[in-house]
Structure 1
Amino acid sequence: MKPPVLLGVPGLMLLCLAHLPPASAELYDPLSITYSYAQHLAGDLRTSWRNMRGWPVRGKRHMLAKRGTSSPGKCQLRLENPFNSTSPATSTRSSSQSHTSSLSSSGQSNTRSTSTPTTTSAGAPLTTSTTSQVQATTTTTTSSSSIQRTTTSTSTATYPTSSLHLKQTYNGSSFFDGWEFFTGADPTAGNVNFLDSATAWSSGLVSINSANHAIMGVDTTQTVSGNRNAIRLNFANTFNGGLLTGRLSKSASLLLNRSSRCAADIYHVPTGCAVWPAWWTTGPDWPTYGEIDILEGVHTSNQNQVSLHTAAGCAISSTSGFSGTVVNGDNCGSTDGSNTGCGILAYDTASMGTPFNDGQGGVYAMLWDNNGIRIWLFHRGSIPADLTRDAPLPDTWGEPMAYITSAQCNPWQYMQNHVAVLDTTLCGTWAGSAGSWDAGCAASTGYATCTEFVQAQGSAFDNAYWEVASVKLYQ
């Protein structure tokens, strides 16, 4: 008997089971038929192939119809060509195909990879190489004439381990959960009435926008006889140390640590004459257990001013190690009757105000740990990947905007049991002071005092809103 052979048909896999006389019945590979039987089928197969070339090609199994009937004991044709058979031929063609043959009698499935060599118009075979990548898995297939090898390698990205773990997140539709709406008198004597939660929602001063960011605004009624309605939010729970971050939609982000950190992702920060926005933390019995002003400024300022207010004895010990400039002296104590504390003015002229907002804001991060207090600003296009992964590595972030070391200000003595605060006031002891108002807003608005302007020009506060994507605490 001549050895069985495989009849190859372009674009097809031919699976034939040969029926031999009972006396010589043997088990044959389903992919082979006897030479004599192959000769018998060759003529019919050529005829059938010519008839089938015009059929639509689908990824299914078909039976070869012979004289209008299908014979399951004869041949099965699987159409694997991914291209429609009516597509025009080209002089150069490359294909790499994977075929699966199923043996229903055994219930087993075998997968083979086959590749058709690339052929030029001259008919010379070429080596083909295909690379596919899914997430971190790369599969490379190389075929040369009739031999193909497939090598699969999987690589998993590894990152340094962070000692800080995400403890609290405020974002999306639940952003306002976990905050308290402060309704007391403004301790900075601003021309505002802080609203409770129900009134804030019903008046539209707080909302969640289409980007799923939290919005906190100021009343823009054109004229008011007294104060304007505004919002002040306090954390419902206290924290000691950590990384506090905030993503401000056109504004900022915040970080804290013992080790702990807090961050805020801000897209928009309030701006305009009379406006005094602040993102800060504070302890009980002010100033005994401290205040950390992470993001603060007045009027149309485009430079953030970081400040500390503490009991007597805390001071800025060094003017190096951070990018900002010390202002108002190095004494952070606020027990001498003043409310100034120590301040560091950001070098970055787009760290708040209109330039900050125009750049889609960024993340302010405040780290409170054994080394002291450090504050960074990451603009929208430069947020560290580790922070995005919620595995912050502050030691890799480079020079901070502000740094008050523990050398002359023990962070655990002067700062305790803090809550984070996000608010907007109008005028008050800073923005409303004669020196601050007269420095620019008196001339630009035409009003002699900050209070007169606030009561008469509600439309001036259209940009006096926060847009915050998230606030996070890591410890």
Structure 2
Amino acid sequence: MQFYTLLTTLALVKSGIAGYAIQDDYGASDFFGMFDFFTDSDPTHGYVEYVDQGTAQSSGLINSSSNSIYIGVDSTNTAGSNGRNSVRLTSTASYNDGLVILDLAHMPGSVCGTWPAFWLVGPNWPNNGEIDIIEGVNSQQSNAMTLHTGPGCSISSSGDFSGSVSTTNCDVNAAGQAQNAGCSIDTNDDSTYGDGFNNANGGVYATEWTSDSISIYHWPRSQIPSDITSGSPDPSGWGTPLAQFSGSCDISSAFKDMQIVFDLTFCGDWAGNVWSSDSTCSSKADTCQDYVQNNPSAFTDSYWEINSLKVYQSGGSYVESQAEASPASSKQALPATTLQTSAKVAPS
């Protein structure tokens, strides 16, 4: 038997391709089939009636085409005693780590009385965490990103991100912070939320959630990275995130079995409580509920228009290339790896 060895001139080059593989594509053809419609009373005490899928469909609050998904609110009728009709969706799938990429053509505008949010939440809130990716109220012009947890999770007050830390303790009962404030990073970039986001023709939010940190990125339509549009996202080339949550927190323990949520409520524990301090809104009516109840046409711009929502899981592959190897030289394959605000959730 003849044995061959690698020549001294052999160059083995191992290139690691750290990538993400698609896990769930919330496509327009079955978008609503991948979500449950929440119809309980609003846990944030909003002036809202969350309706079921049939009611939402027949009243025009939801719609889909081959290219996009529409999720809106009643902007025609004076609201009844329970509140203005709206939709709250919770994904049937749950996740542990991953990359969530949302391409929005439009989000609810900076409209008085509204409280829209796109977020992730685990069971038995707050013990399995909440990640608020997009959230704001009333005439707010830029995004607020927040984590809510049980005890033992806090974030660094500085880091490599463009936003500004407003609170550092993610525990909803943290001493020295407002009840349920969580740890929050704000931005003054008005292309990140509401009217400014829509004036930029929408854009993309990407949330990378690993055992080390939770990072939130945003790009207006004209600046979306090509690796996202091509379906091969690579966060290593995205630059500085809008927010990055890391510090004294066991992220893998604090954030588990997270489901994706879209909702839009009215007034309640945040939008209602700050009504009087928002001069734009308080000049329109004495109370948030009065305004929301009696001004249906004010909410024509209060809708989500989703171009795509995709969840990726981390993976990797390795390619070994060689130069000037002897004829029988062999290479060892290296295996790819695969990963599997207020209290906005109903009490368990």
Contact 1:248–1:269 (CA<8 Å) still a contact in 2?
no
Aligned partner of 1:414 in structure 2 is: 254
Q: Does 1:473 align with 2:311?
A: yes
Q: Deviations over 1:256-293 (max 9, x none)?
A: xxxxxxxxxxxx33430001110000001111011000
Aligned partner of 1:431 in structure 2 is: 271
Question: Max radius of gyration: which structure?
Answer: 1
Contact 2:75–2:297 (CA<8 Å) still a contact in 1?
yes
Q: Which runs of 5+ in 1 are unaligned?
A: 1-158, 251-267
Q: Distance in 2 between matches of 1:436 and 1:198?
A: 33
Find 2:42's aligned residue among 183, 186, 201: 186
Contact 2:275–2:287 (CA<8 Å) still a contact in 1?
no
Q: Deviations over 1:124-178 (max 9, x none)?
A: xxxxxxxxxxxxxxxxxxxxxxxxxxxxxxxxxxx98342100101122322221
Q: Distance in 2 between matches of 1:313 and 1:196?
A: 37
Aligned partner of 2:302 in structure 1 is: 464
Identity of matched residues, %:
39
Q: Distance in 2 between matches of 1:278 and 1:377?
A: 15
Q: Distance in 2 between matches of 1:340 and 1:278?
A: 15
Aligned partner of 1:230 in structure 2 is: 86
SS at match of 1:293: strand
Q: Does 1:163 align with 2:6?
A: no
After superposition, the CA RMSD in angstroms is: 1.7
Q: Distance in 2 between matches of 1:206 and 1:448?
A: 31
Instruction: Kindly provide the amino acid, as one letter, of the partner of residue 333 in structure 1.
Output: D
Instruction: Kindly provide the amino acid, as one letter, of the partner of residue 197 in structure 2.
Output: F
Q: Distance in 1 between matches of 2:286 and 2:39?
A: 29
How far did residue 439 of structure 1 move?
A: 1.9
Q: Distance in 2 between matches of 1:443 and 1:288?
A: 36
Q: Distance in 1 between matches of 2:40 and 2:119?
A: 17
Instruction: Kindly provide the amino acid, as one letter, of the partner of residue 334 in structure 1.
Output: V
Contact 1:270–1:277 (CA<8 Å) still a contact in 2?
no
SS at match of 1:423: strand
**TM-score (norm. length: structure 2):** 0.81
Q: Distance in 1 between matches of 2:46 and 2:16?
A: 46
What does 1:289-304 correspond to in 2, within 5 Å?
A: 289-304=128-143
Aligned partner of 2:12 in structure 1 is: none
Q: Distance in 2 between matches of 1:326 and 1:238?
A: 28
What does 1:300-449 correspond to in 2, within 5 Å?
A: 300-327=139-166, 329-336=167-174, 338-405=179-246, 407-433=247-273, 435-445=274-284, 447-449=285-287
Instruction: Kindly provide the amino acid, as one letter, of the partner of residue 468 in structure 1.
Output: I
Q: Does 1:283 align with 2:122?
A: yes
Contact 2:79–2:85 (CA<8 Å) still a contact in 1?
no
Aligned partner of 1:115 in structure 2 is: none
Paired positions, count:
295
Q: Which runs of 5+ in 2 are unaligned?
A: 1-14, 314-348
SS at match of 1:355: helix
Q: Distance in 1 between matches of 2:281 and 2:224?
A: 38
How far did residue 359 of structure 1 move?
A: 1.0
Instruction: Kindly provide the amino acid, as one letter, of the partner of residue 326 in structure 1.
Output: V
Which structure ranks higher in relative contact order (CA pairs < 8 Å, sequence separation ≥ 6)?
2
How far did residue 355 of structure 1 move?
A: 1.3
**TM-score (norm. length: structure 1):** 0.60
